[in-house]
Amino acid sequence: MLGSLSLLAATPFAFRSFLPSSSNNRSLSSGTNHQIAKQLATESGRGSQKLLRLHVFPVYRRVSYGSPISAVMIDDSSTITTSEENTQNIGILDIDSALRPFKDHFQYRIKKFVDQKNLFENYEGGLEEFAKGYLRFGFNREEDGIVYREWAPAAQEAQVVGDFNGWDGSNHKMEKNEFGVWSIKIPDSEGNPAIPHNSRVKFRFKHGDGVWVDRIPAWIKYATVDPTRFGAPFDGVHWDPPPSERYEFKYPRPPKPKAPRIYEAHVGMSSSEPRINSYREFADDVLPRIQANNYNTVQLMAVMEHSYYASFGYHVSNFFSVSSRSGTPEDLKYLIDKAHSLGLRVLMDVVHSHASNNVTDGLNGFDVGQSSQESYFHTGERGYHKLWDSRLFNYGNWEVLRFLLSNLRWWLEEFKFDGFRFDGVTSMLYHHHGINMPFTGDYNEYFSETTDVDAVVYLMLANSLINNILPDATVIAEDVSGMPGLGRPVSEGGIGFDYRLAMAIPDKWIDYLKNKNDEEWSMMDLSCSLTNRRYTEKCISYAESHDQSIVGDKTIAFFLMDKEMYSGMSCLIDASPTIDRGIALHKVGASSNVRGLSHVSFMSCHMIHFITMALGGEGYLNFMGNEVTRYIFCLFVQFGHPEWIDFPREGNGWSYEKCRRQWTLVDTDHLRYKFMNAFDRAMNALDDKFSFLSSTKQIVSCTDEENKVIVFERGDLVFVFNFHPENTYDGYKVGCDLPGKYRVALDSDAWEFGGHGRVGHDVDHFTSPEGIPGVPETNFNNRPNSFKVLSPARTCVVYYKVDESVEETNGINVISVSEKLEMDASEQKNAEESAILVDHGDKENPQETNDRDTASFDEELQKDGAKQESIEEPAASVLDKKIVGSKLDEPEAEEMEDRTLDD
């Protein structure tokens, strides 16, 4: 327990820290895997991570502010009475009673949050005005001139230098105010700005020992480097293009989706050529692929300028600058606007957990031995991350708050990003940064003297600001610890994120792929790992992201198929057992060791990604390229590359060979990569049609260890996963909620997904009642109805309930998922064939089929001129009628609670 409020108030500095998110081995040493957030369900005395019921709470109202911005750093106690009133009713304690022993902790951090907001109101005009620091600091146009301001309290003298004055600052000396802010106004010259657009500038200052140093301005909006020299120093660039050269946004932000289906991407390595790709090339060439595969969100990595390319963008040097390797700020705006025109939202991978240790190019260069209160960072060991070799922010510092909060507003308003994925949140939340910390789910691990309350308050302020500026923003936390309340509103005492990344899931797949034979896979263990999350806090599930693909690791597909990724992916030869298995598990789920890898790898990839998507969270993420060669051990496989990622570095001769995406693999018709891409597209189309990811109805009814089968319902879809390497089950009985007629919605074994076409899609499955209505223990697997299916080995098949009232209505146009995809794809020159088909109706009554205006898969292919002789029947069928998960009553909610997250 954190301790009493009086103790905390007496020693506030004891609770400020920074923490390395164990999900990121940013040092590239990859010595240890990240700690798995087990979130175990423990006894109530220790705290519980079991499912929690939904609750409704009031929210803070927005306040209008008008007072000017100042650089004041003040400790004011005048708001204590007001803040105490806000800490009496803490909503999060009503959601989870096991948090009540930590009420003092929540009161303390809420008080600090409210007090800080009140200080902003009193001295800065409010939180939103405070976050407009970029309009005051750095270079800004003000009446007949350019005003430059920089916070550098330790500097003794300061000048601005650059191309405009021949790098001689003697005539451009700056003045310092009482808050350590240096400023200068440079009048226009003959009506033109004294500092030309796109010219180089630096901040020159003298520190205590009399030494003069040049630094890139902290708020610089663009920085460049000599592209022909590795390790060359960066230059700050004054970016103020004339109106004719500024990019003007043309398209509105797309609405917030019910569930984000996220395509994580790195622009620089998105080219098929061994070079750095540009923002405009990514917009024109890659975004259409992402849209064609039915993602609704793009998450961009490495946007903020970073001097070391191989840091993957996580050692940020210039926080307001667009990475110049891929283009200019205007080019990035083009990319985001193009994404919006395609209906894609764009999230930014924001790094506020640490900063580059680089002195010459980065923010660290302003640290010249001053105290922590006069620096962006903590001093001593507290200000240095020993695993990441980077600097750690002092989140209790007024100007650090201005800098970071303004940074968020800058990216939202200047570039129209739709939200953020916060990197390294675990590193921020705790003084130990998560290093060597095996989180077990004990609440004492989250709320104690090890918690960095200053960082927690910063994140609460950040999420409040983001929601005030853009209420539809999507904000995701990369946290491996599983801190309770991270994904609850600030108004309840939570930290305010919309989602957290389900980081334990990829670790589970890595463990299974590396260490277990197919026969050793536990259906209960997999099910519990995928569903083990706090019910009231949403998660983004993923089987692999960029973290699983860096040098030394492999993608899931590469793990499953190994060297046969190079030799066995041609459709012109029969698939080997290894390739067959790999595609199957890539679709469904994977399992194998080196010995098993040679036996069925292809289908495994489908299964792993799909069960992760369907059961693991309220949103889904895939890394660029992994849709083609899916799964854990090698970033970027989907549309592009089956191997690992290796950035140019001294150890590989500065090669770009493995820092790109081989899009030709999926574009080549005779290669099997197209099957994985087609299934990826179909997975997303299924959610687009049935919205199962956003459904709160999630019930695992069967974990059959003997037969290696998992059956569950998400919304009103019924999912049947058969992980057995050999056994096919005819007449396998599955439970369901609603009575009626069920048909195939998606089938991983279909020909177009590289399967064997064993499941008939024109078969009607009628339910039978089970046991006594309303008495679950008398039902089949606690489900009131059941039906029987054919379940081939290593496949997943999804069933939807037919709306017979629609089916019986003549003249109704039933549009299939594939038809929808074809219409979308017609606008994209690189769009591929659709993967999910409309139901073909009663084959004995073709007239009824014609009346419903259906189209077969073969007809679809003929339209595209891409008919394949190997395809003999449609892959799946989906009616255009959405099936919405019914709201659970209390008994059903309790049943779901017990079945889905009970350890």
Q: CA 749, 750, 754: angle at the middle one, nearest 5? A: 80
The H-or-E segment that residue 686 falls in is helix 673-690
Cα–Cα nearest to 131, from 393, 350, 402, 321: 402
- For the beta carbon of residue 6, count every other beta carbon within 10 angstroms: 10
430 DSSP 8-state letter: B
Q: What HEC string does 81-145 produce?
A: HHHHHCCCCCHHHHHCHHHHHHHHHHHHHHHHHHHHHHHHHHHHCCHHHHCCHHHCCEEEEECCE
Identify residue 787 by its one-letter amino acid code: F
Tell me the backbone φ, ψ of residue 406, rounded to 5 degrees. Answer: -65, -35
Q: Report the Cα 499 to chain-centroid distance in Å.
A: 9
Q: Are 411 and 350 in contact (CB under 8 A)?
A: yes
Query: What is the radius of gyration, based on Cα positions, of the chain?
Result: 28
Q: Report the Cα 390 to chain-centroid distance in Å.
A: 23
Q: Which ranges of 503-604 does DSSP label H, i.e. alpha helix?
A: 504-515, 523-531, 556-561, 564-567, 577-587, 594-597
Cα–Cα dist 449/444, whole Å: 10
Cα–Cα dist 689/814, whole Å: 12
How far apart, in Å, are the Cα atoms of 227 and each of 7, 232, 325, 327?
Answer: 54, 8, 8, 12
Written as six digits, the tokens of 566 are 């190079």
What 3-state class would DSSP assign to 180?
A: coil
- For the beta carbon of residue 252, count every other beta carbon within 10 angstroms: 10
Which residues lie closer than 8 Å to 706 by C-beta, 6 or more apart? none
What 3-state class would DSSP assign to 62?
A: coil
Crossing angle for the helix pair 453-469 and 103-124, to the nearest 10 degrees: 60
Q: What separation, in Å, do the N-terminal and C-terminal C-alpha atoms of the chain show? A: 24
How far apart, in Å, are the Cα atoms of 157 and each of 162, 209, 377, 526, 884?
Answer: 17, 12, 21, 62, 66
Known catalytic residues? 423, 478
Beta-bridge partner residues of 148: 139, 184
Concatenating the DSSP letter of every residue in 628-651 gives HH-BSSSS-TTTT-SS-B--S-GG
381 DSSP 8-state letter: G
Cα–Cα dist 141/135, whole Å: 9
| Chain length of the chain | 903
